């Protein structure tokens, strides 16, 4: 099942993991240590973040390092910017309409 | 337009909430009408070149507005707004959900809260949108996509025809 990016970011632990990964790529074991969590708990968070493409795995020797996928976050911000743009457009239309109505009165 | 009018747009990703504030150079009662009367809503409620078409609107608690956003090539994206609370001229709340053309809703939707206040002839509107998920927000945008490809010039021409 595809994970929802909003749900992924809503969790404070996952936000903390992302913040950490934005600084450097980490293995699941190191993440578990840093957050004082079981390896199992970390795996769950990794799964959610991976499924919505916020992190990317990279094999290095016998270890898997997870990287922060900045592009996905940008995509999300891009959507929001468009949403904002829509509102701006509509509100400008409303400005026009209000001016027209006031003139008619 | 008037650049002195405030426009704020903030997103709290963790709380899945969008906050929008905008000022309008008009009295509160007129702005209230523009947000709550179908014939006025349809004149500004979709970003050009999209347009909004309200099939019916019962602006009362428990009542609904059933409307579509229509693209220039005639595609319709229907939504149902259900009004959950109304304090005349000051506040109204609604539950917004996409639907098919027969008014069957696709749940979950999003909660919208509108607040109106006036100071010195300027009316401030505060909108809070709580979305269940980002995918809802994404869908909210899908219907708008065509609007973005418009150049500013085209947009201005369209707006000029509105006035």
B contact test, residue of A11, A51, A91 with most B CBs within 10 A: A91
Tell me the per-residue pLDDT of B14-38, one tens digit each, with 9 for 90 and over: 778 889 999 999 999 999 999 999 9
- Supply A35's token pair: 């957050």
Average the pLDDT over each of A1-5, A83-87, B119-123 and give the range with the smallest value: A1-5
Residue A5: how many other CB atoms lie within 10 Å: 25
Residue B66 makes CB contacts below 8 A (sequence gap 6+) with B54, B55, B56, B57, B78, B79, B80, B81, B99, B103
Q: Measure the CA dihedral A90/A91/A93/A96, to 10°.
A: 170
pLDDT digit string (tens) for B62-88?
Answer: 999 999 988 877 888 899 999 999 999
Give the residue from A54, A94, A105 with the most B CB atoms within 10 Å of its CB, the best one to mutate: A94
Q: What is the overall mean pLDDT for chain A? A: 86
Name the residue of chain B whose CA is nearest to A16's CA.
B14
pTM, 2 dp: 0.72
Q: Tell me whether 0.90 is exceeded by the ipTM.
A: no
> Contact A86/B155, CB-based, under 8 Å?
no
């Amino acid at each position: 099942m595809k994970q929802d990016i909003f749900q992924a970011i809503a969790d404070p632990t996952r936000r903390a993991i992302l913040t950490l990964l934005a600084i450097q790529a980490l293995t699941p074991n190191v993440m578990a240590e840093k957050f004082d969590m079981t390896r199992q708990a970390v795996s769950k968070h990794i799964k959610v973040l991976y499924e919505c493409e916020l992190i990317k795995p990279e094999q290095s020797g016998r270890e898997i390092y997870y990287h922060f996928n900045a592009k996905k976050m940008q995509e999300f911000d891009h959507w929001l910017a468009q949403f904002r743009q829509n509102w701006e457009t509509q509100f400008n239309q409303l400005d026009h309409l209000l001016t027209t109505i006031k003139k008619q009165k | 337009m008037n650049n002195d009018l405030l426009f704020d747009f903030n997103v709290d990703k963790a709380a899945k909430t969008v906050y929008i504030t905008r000022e309008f150079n008009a009295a509160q009662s007129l702005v209230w009408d523009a947000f709550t009367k179908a014939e006025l809503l349809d004149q500004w409620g979709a970003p050009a070149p999209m347009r909004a078409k309200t099939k019916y609107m019962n602006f009362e608690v428990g009542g609904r507005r059933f409307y579509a956003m229509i693209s220039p090539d005639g595609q319709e994206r229907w939504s149902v707004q259900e009004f959950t609370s109304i304090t005349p001229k000051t506040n109204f709340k609604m539950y917004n959900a996409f639907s098919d053309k027969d008014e069957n809703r696709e749940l979950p939707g999003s909660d919208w809260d509108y607040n109106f206040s006036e100071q010195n002839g300027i009316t401030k509107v505060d909108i809070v949108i709580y979305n269940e998920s980002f995918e809802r927000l994404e869908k909210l945008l899908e219907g708008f996509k065509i609007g973005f490809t418009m150049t500013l010039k085209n947009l201005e021409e369209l707006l000029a025809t509105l006035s």
